[in-house]
């Protein structure tokens, strides 16, 4: 019997010393979402507070030698008035014509006229960390063209936390209202995301963390105490990737 208790105690100590298992992102426990395509209705979306809705992609047309806006995502529809709506536009380059920006602003107004609480525009551009200065210049210009009632949001890569140039950070502070840093690539969470998240203590810009549905995630214990942390945005997967 004594040997039994000794064995049980050793097993218990082993369990206690094991690292806590990483949990998976269950979308029904969150309230902010990216709607990137034909996402079928989910019951928990009725409780959403903010929706980031893909509306198009800005590409460079070699044939026309100018930027071109390609419509993408879901068509115009009305969401409950209490849900804040961001319209998202992907970008593959930053040399936009004024016409392109005006088309985007018109789209914001169309969604607003349909009865939606459109609060702003989000740009999804995967700028290299070394090129953040040029991206910040683009965003300052875009901010000047965007009507004042609308906010400006951008997506970002976790690797951007390595960029510490004061001038670039100052430009971003002046231009954007938030940055949503993506902790995933494709349908999977970045393995070393925790190392990057620790550096967010030094980020002087309001931010959210983007999670992928079903991805692994263990929130840092001190994240909620960060005054610049505004919550999570979950990227919802189409049903073919859904579990």
- Residue 12 maps to a domain: no
The pLDDT of residue 64 is 79
CA distance 46 to 119: 18
The pLDDT of residue 229 is 96
The count of structural domains within the chain is: 1
pTM of model > 0.85? yes
Q: Which domain holds residue 43?
A: 25-235
The pLDDT of residue 92 is 94
The pLDDT of residue 11 is 33
Could you read off the pLDDT tens digit of each residue along the chain, which spans 243 residues?
444 334 333 333 333 333 344 589 999 999 999 998 877 778 899 999 999 999 999 998 887 788 999 999 999 999 999 999 999 999 999 999 999 999 999 999 999 999 999 999 999 998 888 889 999 999 999 999 999 999 999 999 998 888 878 899 899 999 999 999 999 998 999 988 988 888 888 889 999 999 999 999 998 888 889 999 999 999 999 865 555
The pLDDT of residue 22 is 55
The pLDDT of residue 7 is 37
- Residue 9 maps to a domain: no
The pLDDT of residue 63 is 79
Q: What is the CA radius of gyration of the chain?
A: 21
- Residue 204 maps to a domain: yes
Strand 188-189 to strand 184-185: parallel, antiparallel, or no bridges (unpaired)? antiparallel
CA distance 212 to 175: 27
Give residues with Cβ within 8 angstroms of 115, minimum separation 6.
78, 81
What are the tokens at 102? 């005006």
CATH for 145: 3.20.20.80
- Residue 20 maps to a domain: no
Q: How many CB atoms lie within 10 A of CB 227?
A: 6
């Amino acid at each position: 019997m004594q040997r039994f208790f000794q064995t049980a105690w050793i097993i218990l100590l082993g369990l206690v010393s094991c690292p806590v298992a990483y949990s998976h992102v269950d979308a029904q426990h969150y309230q902010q979402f990216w709607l990137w395509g034909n996402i079928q209705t989910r019951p928990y979306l009725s409780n959403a507070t903010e929706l980031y809705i893909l509306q198009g992609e800005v590409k460079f047309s070699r044939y026309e030698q100018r930027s071109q806006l390609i419509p993408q995502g879901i068509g115009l529809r009305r969401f409950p008035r209490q849900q804040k709506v961001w319209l998202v536009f992907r970008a593959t380059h930053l040399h936009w014509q004024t016409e392109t920006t005006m088309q985007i602003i018109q789209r914001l107004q169309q969604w607003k006229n349909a009865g939606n609480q459109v609060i702003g525009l989000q740009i999804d551009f995967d700028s290299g960390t070394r090129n953040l200065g040029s991206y910040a210049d683009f965003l300052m210009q875009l901010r000047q063209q965007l009507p004042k009632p609308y906010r400006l949001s951008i997506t970002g890569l976790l690797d951007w936390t390595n960029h510490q140039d004061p001038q670039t950070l100052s430009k971003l502070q002046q231009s954007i209202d938030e940055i949503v840093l993506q902790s995933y690539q494709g349908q999977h969470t970045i393995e070393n995301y925790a190392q990057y998240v620790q550096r967010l203590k030094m980020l002087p810009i309001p931010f959210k963390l983007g999670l992928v549905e079903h991805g692994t995630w263990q929130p840092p214990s001190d994240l909620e105490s960060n005054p610049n942390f505004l919550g999570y945005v979950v990227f919802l997967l189409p049903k073919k990737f859904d579990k």
